[in-house]
Chains A and B, each alone.
Chain A
Amino acid sequence: MNSDGVNGGGTSRERVLGRVRRALADVPRDERPEDHPVTRDYLRVHGERTPAESLDLLAENLADYRAHVHRVDAPGLPALLARLLAERGARRVVVPAGLPRAWLQDAPVDMLSDTPALTPSELDRVDSVVTGCALAIAETGTLVLDAGPGQGRRALTLVPDHHLCVVRAADQVVDSVPQALERLAPAAARPLTWVSGPSATSDIELDRVEGVHGPRTLEVILVTGDPRSG
């Protein structure tokens, strides 16, 4: 379907593009789109850090924006998840396809596997969601979900009020935004969600308040070792 207006002898598409071209009469005819220089002398990473320091920075920045940060080694993950879910009194927990079932083996909860049939209203009656992520950015305290295995569709990490997100310390932590985008490029066509702390607003007197529409509690679990081989 295309509802573009047809006006004055041409479509709006041609009209707008024609106006753009006339507006740029001062740009030399032989200039190519990439010719105008962009100097990228900004930093790829701010500061030098060992992987352990990057992990510390990630934890610090996540906590600064009121995410709860936990650290555990791979064998301890199921027990930690069980404890965190129990502390919230979570009974119904939704998990995306591809999430290792073993992660929740210790948790006495009703585990719902995500299916496309699960409506927003049904998701609204779920207590918690457990996912992995595509990567995490240390400098900004950001988690990126790319709808890959163990992350699920976007609604899953949005409607439930409690999100537990597992980050593999060994290979999912990058330092900076430029590094993150470089790694995400192959996944660019998939829906991406960047999460930095729980839902927040600055709309009342420009002061930050945590917790509006997205999950009001974000728990991030930084796992050392390989949690996939559990």
Chain B
Amino acid sequence: MSRDGARAPRGGAGFPQGGATYLGMPAFPQAADAATRDGRLRANLRHATHTIRAKRARAVAELDDWARLREAGAAIKDRTLRHLDHHLVRLEEAVTRAGGTVHWAADAAEANRIVTDLVRATGEHEVVKVKSMATQEIGLNEALAEAGIRAYETDLAELIVQLGDDLPSHILVPAIHRNRGEIRDIFRDRMASWGRPAPEGLTDRPAELAEAARQHLREKFLRAKVGVSGANFMVAETGTLVVVESEGNGRMCLTLPETLISVVGIEKTVPTWRDLEVFLQLLPRSSTAERMNPYTSMWTGTADGDGPRVFHLVLLDNGRTDTLADEVGRQALRCIRCSACLNVCPVYERAGGHAYGSPYPGPIGAILTPQLRGLSSPLEESLPYASSLCGACFEVCPVAIDIPEVLVHLRERVAEGGEVTVRGTRTVIRPAKGHATERAAMRAARWAFDHPGALRRGQRILARTRRLQPRRLPGPGRAWTDTRELPAVPAESFRDWWARTRGGTA
């Protein structure tokens, strides 16, 4: 499972600092509690998410056929997933025919082993990396470090995270929790220990920060012999891989090294070349709110005299087939990692990305992480509840993942238990620990609601004792009354009023 690859030291609740790890993170409510009290974090997140929100809305509004593109995107992904074995075999054939080598990894440990062995075989001790969710998920950098191989993150935000010994907190902008002043400080303090130091007198102007990153990374690009990437799409028909990016660091890593290793989740497959016409419209507008992102690279195996001479593709399962086995939950595999759901999520905005305890934060993380890892700890069990079910995520999702539906479905697995697939094996799990009181309360409530006579007696007791009721509740009720007043209990329920005035009977 993915946590095989998680990192060594342990971060603090909600906001890891230094030698960061997702391992042993507390359940969502505790981590989020710490984050909501961090004024600077909340200001950074609010500023960034509100900036992109309005831009996305404008970019999407430019296309009259957005709803139809969205439906087509969802349908193409569903078509692919329903016959994923067929498409993967075709993809493998096409990549192999084009001069690439395909590897299969059932889990994180295996993927890390494959990549480590491939790098070792080149004799190199460093790699340059394109930002990749899959390699974050499997903890590739740490696995390479153990083998004495240094992995340089080259995406600006990933660089900020790496230099700051931090964890990513957003899919598209891993350093979204940092503002320009903090980024300046990280560059000034840490760049020298990773290579070229930050320029003297560096200010917090974004253009200057970007220039500092350019200079710092350029020497690494120019000498790199091995590049590591993920991919946004893999076309089964042609064997073409697609990376969508903005800065050009992706092009550097995909083009200049002699060896390229791409680690890609199996769900990134699309059947045909033509299918890209849908996703290359949906993705940029949903993620960076642009008509088109600055750079998109497409490559098919290797090409003579252009780019890497050796290409390896590592197809990653790591919980994806377990997710696929769930008929309701499998729609999460449609995800194209645009992060639109994070940018509109009111919970993400307050809790921050680290509270989700995985590289996949926000609404999509709340349904992806518990499925990829299984409901294996209090953190994963808490994620399906990390939502008010407001539905803003579903509304903006370019592939129409009904995130609230999946959240509620996963809550059922937590609360009631049921059938799940773990590493390829169907098994029945028991309800999560700590839900016994809630379960009893829900049963009691259901019983009362199914016996309106009893309900009415309860309402009357509540009404008669209303002057005696405390304004602050003990136990679980404290979670309400710590910050909110309770509503006043009326003297008479609606039901009693109706019976009294309209002569109804109970």
Contact = CB atoms under 8 A, between A and B. Distances in A.
Interface string B292-328: 1111111111010111000000010100011011010
A170 interface: no
A141 interface: yes
B481 interface: no
A189 B238 CA distance: 7
B48 interface: yes
Interface stretch (A8-16, A76-84, A105-113, A219-227): A8-16
Given A24-B324, A188-B238, A206-B49, A200 B273 contact: no
A149 interface: no
Majority SS of interface residues in chain B? Answer: helix
A207 B206 contact: yes
Contact of B303 (A12, A188, A191, A194): A191
Interface in A158-174: 158-159
Contacts of A27: 82-83
Contact of A205 (B48, B254, B300, B307): B48
A86 interface: no
Interface residues of B, number: 111
Interface string B196-228: 000000000011011101100110011000000
Chain A interface residue bracket vs B: 35 or more
Contacts of A196: 290-295
Contact of A158 (B79, B252, B266, B290): B252
Majority SS of interface residues in chain A? Answer: loop
B492 interface: no
Interface of A: 1-5, 7, 11-13, 15-24, 26-27, 31-34, 36-43, 46, 61, 65, 116, 120-121, 124, 137, 139-142, 147, 153-155, 158-159, 177-178, 181-182, 185, 188-209, 211-215
B368 to A, nearest CB: 16
B256 A120 contact: yes
A60 to B, nearest CB: 11
B82 A203 contact: no
B337 interface: no
Given A3-B118, A181-B273, A185-B273, A214 B79 contact: no
B101 A1 contact: yes
A42 B69 contact: yes
Contacts of B84: 20, 24
Contacts of B306: 147, 153-155, 191
